[in-house]
Structure 1
Amino acid sequence: MNRDTKIIHAGVEPDPSTGAIMTPIFQSSTFVQSAPNEHKGYDYSRAGNPTRTALEKAFAELENGKYGLAFSSGVAATDAVLRLLKPGDEVIAAKDMYGGTYRLFATLWADFGIKFIYVDTTDVANVEKALTPNTRMLWVETPTNPLMKITDIEAMAALSQKAGALLVVDNTFASPYLQNPLDLGADIVMHSATKYLGGHSDVIMGALMMNSQELRDKLYYIQKSSGAVPGPFDCFLVLRGIKTLHVRMQRHCENGRKVAQFLKAHPKVKNVYWCGFEDSPGYQIARKQMRDFGGMMSFELKDASIEAALKVLKGTKIIALAESLGGVESLINHPASMTHASVPREERLANGLSDSLMRLSIGIEDAEDLIADLQQAIG
């Protein structure tokens, strides 16, 4: 089955009792049993719900995996993965990554004896040098949030296998439409399904996909025991969003290219971080492991003052100043004070994330309107 057809039909079958083409919302906390532990596959919705089951099947199919699990947020999904570890274990992670992931690693899990080592994962040698006998996990974002750095997933898979460690890839920015890390050797793929999978800025959810039944069983036990599960209506919303993933991603990519090229040519813009430029450091790897380059980018003005950045951030009329990304509407964000505010300033600056950096999530509006909006805001 071709990818676009699979996206539309992933996880969804006509309801056997009514023939409904869309999975019903099973808005029930519990299920009647004929005798203790004798039921039709469901007993309590924290452990499983038919709407969530359909979504989890869809998650697996989207990433060409065998298993999928849904969580109440992307951070909850990440937290579940970290529960596979024990005190003394080490995790190698990217220096440039989502601030919420960094916060979870550095301020919560580090207190439980997990050691996090932050390196530039775009250079395989950095990761290899950081490996120790205690390395149990490599955590990779590619493209990264917000500097759009690219890591070679196949190379990381080779290193992780050699070290006996798990490779986990946050595939949120690319979405399954553009990149499939399981096919490249990753053990677990994580998504903030809030973003491109949901696609309409109306739901919070996380997803994990994997091929190993052993991993699935461990993560399902964590999911059931810790209880960070989404409700059936949220599952329905993401199932509905997935059906248009391919057409939305096509437009995100088309618009992203136009906006990135506009910004690069603008006389007041100093840097544009987008992995689709041929002179971008990660371009060749991105071209190898991605099908297109997406609608996420960041940029800096030649005037590096906060005042100049604030003028743009507050000056757009179509592009909304807001957290999050991946919805049909375009958003602009100030990482230093919003998504990455939890990262200490010294670390942010050392990682190349300046105080005046702005991040764009390019939506599916008319590209010329978005360009005109940025033009009037930048001046």
Structure 2
Amino acid sequence: MGRPLLNRRLSAFGTTIFAEMSALAATTGSINLGQGFPDTDGPDEVREAAVRALRDGHGNQYPPGPGIPELRTAIAEHQQRRYGLPYDPDREVLVTAGATEAIAASLLALLEPGDEVIALEPYYDSYAACIAMAGGTRVPVTLRPDPESLTYRLDLDELRAAVTDRTRLILLNSPHNPTGTVLTRDELAAVAELACERDLLVVTDEVYEHLVFDGGEHHPIAGFPGMRERTVTIGSAGKTFSFTGWKVGWVTAAPELVTAVRSAKQFLTYVSAGPFQYAVAEALRLPDSYFDALREDLGVKRDVLSAGLAESGFRVFRPSGTYFVTTDIRPLGESDGFAFCRALPERCGVVAIPNAVFYDHQDEGAPFVRFAFCKRTEVLEEAVTRLKQLAP
């Protein structure tokens, strides 16, 4: 054929690094701390709710396009109970095939070709692909590592300077993958003020909302003044309940925004995960003690892996949230995260992800590597033992 098969919008996107590194983990028998999925299932009562739905014939055929009423009601109740955000389950909630579809449908629905989208770099790789599919233009605002506090922070002046007359929306992610940054109330207030001032939409990926450590809090930007009518909030069951394979996500927003997102979503998957929707409806009504225990357990695992990485010679950026810890490999005498991660399985029997894949300007992320700590403690301890071979 005389022309490339893959359209130009997607020509820069091949096989994801997650597929590559997970395949490498399988072929080498390595511990996979690359992709962010737990190695244990979530609560038994939630799994049994899915089995019960299957047996009772609930959701085995097409569920309603917006999602089953039981789940939409549970999502609305969750937003009200946790954050004081009221949503009408019939007009302001949409169930999606995971958060990834919610992001894709939101961007496809809300962007015109040429619209600019500001995203906090480094960012989850699907953001770049979805912006491209919608014909938008990525405008990265980079979270920069502070070598003293060993955290990543947002430069609000840089964010303001990035807004132009072509900017349509800000794509936000807090708690932030891969850096583990949790935006503060003051930072979110500044983002909200900017969005209102420049009449911008905000699409906010909050799938790690329940994974905030050290007594910190997650603050949905939809709750700030002027944001209720311009914010699309995206949530997911996968990270909160450890059933990532179910692919149940959702959107909460004003009716006009939900209608727009649904217009795109209905031509992507139409519907999905019928029986699992019933189970997630029950999961969202679990007592606060479940969410507290999840956060405490993952906080301990974060500390186990972070300490082990530091002892192995990495510079560790302590995450305030999410499943992930970012490290600097330069103290190990390394500077190329891709080469380091591709060699690590043979060297130590551990798989990680090079952060450069999350950057438009890959040199910015070249010396940084991400590890996932959503694994059993004994698995993390074994990974740490193997990684200590790297210690100078």
Distance 1:119 1:360, change over 3 A: same
Give 3-state SS (helix, strand or coil) of 2:100's partner.
helix
CA distance in 2, matches of 1:296, 1:202: 19
Deviation at 1:297, TM superposition (A): 0.8
Task: Map 1:332-351 to 2 at 5 A.
Answer: 333-335=352-354, 340=357, 347-350=361-364
Task: Map 1:126-137 to 2 at 5 A.
Answer: 126-137=158-169
User: Which one of 363, 381, 387 corresponds to residue 377 of structure 1?
Assistant: 387
Deviations 1:92-130 (A, max 9, x none): 122210012112223x222xxx33322226111112112
Match of 1:361 in 2: 372
CA distance in 1, matches of 2:110, 2:293: 36
User: Which one of 67, 75, 84 corresponds to residue 100 of structure 2?
Assistant: 75
1:172 equivalent in alignment to 2:211:
no
Distance 1:273 1:230, change over 3 A: farther
1:268 equivalent in alignment to 2:313:
yes
User: Which one of 258, 266, 275 corresponds to residue 216 of structure 1?
Assistant: 258
Deviation at 1:131, TM superposition (A): 1.5
CA distance in 2, matches of 1:174, 1:234: 21
Match of 2:273 in 1: 231
Distance 1:72 1:169, change over 3 A: same
Flag the structure with more relative contact order, 1 or 2, with Cα contacts below 8 A and sequence separation at least 6. Answer: 2
Give 3-state SS (helix, strand or coil) of 1:261's partner.
helix
* Percentage of matched positions with identical amino acids: 16
Deviation at 1:26, TM superposition (A): 2.0
Match of 2:117 in 1: 91
Give 3-state SS (helix, strand or coil) of 1:167's partner.
strand
Match of 1:4 in 2: none
Task: Map 1:96-115 to 2 at 5 A.
Answer: 96-106=122-132, 108-110=133-135, 114-115=136-137
Distance 1:63 1:206, change over 3 A: farther
Give 3-state SS (helix, strand or coil) of 2:138's partner.
strand
Is the helix fraction higher in 1 or 2?
2
Q: Is the 8 A contact 1:98 1:145 kept in 2?
A: yes
1:189 equivalent in alignment to 2:233:
yes
Give 3-state SS (helix, strand or coil) of 1:180's partner.
coil
- TM-score where L is the length of structure 2: 0.64
CA distance in 1, matches of 2:60, 2:158: 49
Q: Which runs of 5+ in 1 are unaligned?
A: 1-7, 9-13, 15-19, 31-43, 277-292, 322-331
Deviation at 1:162, TM superposition (A): 0.6
Give 3-state SS (helix, strand or coil) of 1:197's partner.
helix
Give 3-state SS (helix, strand or coil) of 1:91's partner.
strand
Query: Which amino acid counterpart does residue 80 of structure 1 have in structure 2?
Result: A
Query: Which amino acid counterpart does residue 128 of structure 1 have in structure 2?
Result: R
CA distance in 2, matches of 1:146, 1:175: 16
Q: Is the 8 A contact 2:205 2:235 kept in 1?
A: yes
Give 3-state SS (helix, strand or coil) of 2:294's partner.
helix
Match of 1:257 in 2: 303
Distance 1:149 1:52, change over 3 A: closer
Query: Which amino acid counterpart does residue 360 of structure 1 have in structure 2?
Result: F
Query: Which amino acid counterpart does residue 358 of structure 1 have in structure 2?
Result: V
Deviation at 1:156, TM superposition (A): 0.8
User: Which one of 242, 246, 259 corresponds to residue 292 of structure 2?
Assistant: 246
Deviation at 1:157, TM superposition (A): 0.8
CA distance in 2, matches of 1:93, 1:193: 23
Query: Which amino acid counterpart does residue 205 of structure 1 have in structure 2?
Result: V
Distance 1:25 1:363, change over 3 A: farther
CA distance in 1, matches of 2:387, 2:139: 39
Deviations 1:165-201 (A, max 9, x none): 112222234437651313346522223543x133134
Q: Is the 8 A contact 2:71 2:277 kept in 1?
A: yes
Distance 1:63 1:353, change over 3 A: farther
1:125 equivalent in alignment to 2:139:
no
Give 3-state SS (helix, strand or coil) of 1:349's partner.
helix
CA distance in 2, matches of 1:157, 1:222: 26
- TM-score where L is the length of structure 1: 0.66
Deviations 1:145-165 (A, max 9, x none): 223345422211111011111
Q: Which runs of 5+ in 2 are unaligned?
A: 1-42, 44-48, 144-153
Deviations 1:269-302 (A, max 9, x none): 2x212234xxxxxxxxxxxxxxxx4542122431
Distance 1:101 1:228, change over 3 A: farther
CA distance in 1, matches of 2:303, 2:57: 38
Distance 1:63 1:316, change over 3 A: farther
Distance 1:237 1:175, change over 3 A: same
Q: How many residues align?
A: 303
Give 3-state SS (helix, strand or coil) of 1:100's partner.
helix
